[in-house]
Amino acid sequence: MRILSILALAPMVLPAPAQAAPVSSREAQIAAAHAALARKDEAQAIVLLERASADFPDDPEILRLLGSAHAFAGDYPQAIATLRRAQALAPADNDIGAALARAYLWSGDRAAAEREVAVIEQRSPQDAEAAAIRRQLRTESAPHMARRFGLAATQGFSDVSFANRPRQTWSTTTLAVFGRVGPGTVLSLSAEREDRQSFVDTRIEGRIDQSFGPHVRAYAAIAVTPHADFREKWGVSGGVEADVTPYATLLADLRHAEYRDVSVTTFLPGIRLTAARLGIGATVRMINLWDEQGTHRAGVSGRLDGSLASGTTLYAGAATYPDTEAGITRQVHSLFLGGTLPLTERIHLRAGLDYERRRATYTRKGGSVGLQIGF
């Protein structure tokens, strides 16, 4: 199974680096929440903003973002209550008024949304947000507007060296579409085509992510590779992560894959530690693999994540773990690093580098670049 690629694409949920002064820490926490909302991780944004609100009580901007995050997650009563609290602290803030209008609109209370827009228009007749909400009130329904969708495309290339044959260049192309279909529910479908010159496999995966409140998240996925050569014929996976303290999250993933001649099961328990004030965080996982004879092999991975005030996210890590390819399990040693750069509010650039040495098989050096677009 391609454990490394899953690890390298794991969500970057850590807050932004803090400066020495409390104000900078506030800005860093807000930037981290913006980054979480940009990747449509409303649950993590809510966690980050709740921490920020505890650190900076009665901050209208933090409360506005927190209310908006609840609205994006589909919790409209909590969103409206939080935004009304923010509005009481800053009654002339048009951004808070616009966020409250959208929350009312998405909840189905169009009359209340109309009232909020009218107040903004009275204060600022040329306000662009009020005009946009006014157009939505005229042309769109609330359920439609509450949905958010996105597309992602990534292209990767690898230089692969072998002990007894010429070097090769491999390529991997990934396309994905995702969207929220209900409060806290996101569906995604992806296709990954890996070209190894002599063999080409295309793996298709469907996945559902579900948030159970702001502190517990889970997913389930199923994958299939038609006419598989080196990837699994089919596989199922699932996982859960739970915030046990404001600074620690427990992780657990379970996966099963069937290859042409063998089957393997993998269990990955782990912990993610975050430090909002320091702006750094670490994730450590143990990787356990059992083959169909019950033979157990183990490995470990470690990863550091962070965010810059601009919303740019960075990651780096290393791992040594058992991995199955073409029905053969070998130990893999790897290094990886990369990041995400927001080009606009809706478009993000992703890039990464990785090194992989598969014992008695090959050594691979690769890179990838991609775009994610939200709607």
| Residues 347-369 pLDDT 10s | 899 999 999 999 989 999 999 99
* Averaged confidence pLDDT in the chain: 86
Q: Are 127 and 221 in the same domain?
A: no
Does residue 101 sit in helix, strand or coil?
helix
Q: Are 153 and 130 in the same domain?
A: no
Answer whether residue 331 is part of any domain: yes
* CA gap 79, 85 in Å, rounded: 10
Residue with more model confidence, 182 or 94: 94
Q: At residue 6, does pLDDT exceed 70?
A: no
Predicted confidence band at 309 (pLDDT cuts at 50, 70, 90)? low
Q: Are 140 and 208 in the same domain?
A: no
Q: At residue 325, does pLDDT exceed 60?
A: yes
Answer whether residue 119 is part of any domain: yes
What pLDDT, on a 0 to 100 scale, did the predictor assign at position 114? 86
Residue with more model confidence, 121 or 252: 252
Q: What does the block give as tokens for 182?
A: 């209900």
Residue with more model confidence, 39 or 124: 124
- Total domains present in the chain: 2
Residue with more model confidence, 51 or 5: 51
Q: Are 208 and 222 in the same domain?
A: yes
What pLDDT, on a 0 to 100 scale, did the predictor assign at position 5? 46
* CA gap 144, 291 in Å, rounded: 46
330 Cα distance to chain centroid: 29
Please count the other Cβ atoms lying within 10 Å of the Cβ belonging to residue 138: 7
Does residue 82 sit in helix, strand or coil?
helix
Overall average pLDDT of the 96-124 stretch: 88
DSSP code at position 136: H
Predicted confidence band at 277 (pLDDT cuts at 50, 70, 90)? low
Q: Are 184 and 127 in the same domain?
A: no
Overall average pLDDT of the 207-227 stretch: 90
Answer whether residue 15 is part of any domain: no
Predicted confidence band at 80 (pLDDT cuts at 50, 70, 90)? very high
CATH number of the domain enclosing 344: 2.40.160.40
Q: Are 139 and 155 in the same domain?
A: no
Answer whether residue 254 is part of any domain: yes
CATH number of the domain enclosing 52: 1.25.40.10
What pLDDT, on a 0 to 100 scale, did the predictor assign at position 299? 97
| Residues 57-72 pLDDT 10s | 899 999 999 999 988 8
Q: Are 55 and 80 in the same domain?
A: yes
Task: Give alpha helix (H) positions in the chain.
Answer: 3-8, 22-38, 42-55, 60-72, 76-89, 94-107, 110-123, 128-139, 142-146
Q: Give 43's contacts (C-beta < 8 A, 6+ positions apart).
A: 73, 184, 211, 213, 214, 215, 217
Task: Look up the domain containing 50 and give its range.
Answer: 41-145
Overall average pLDDT of the 223-239 stretch: 96
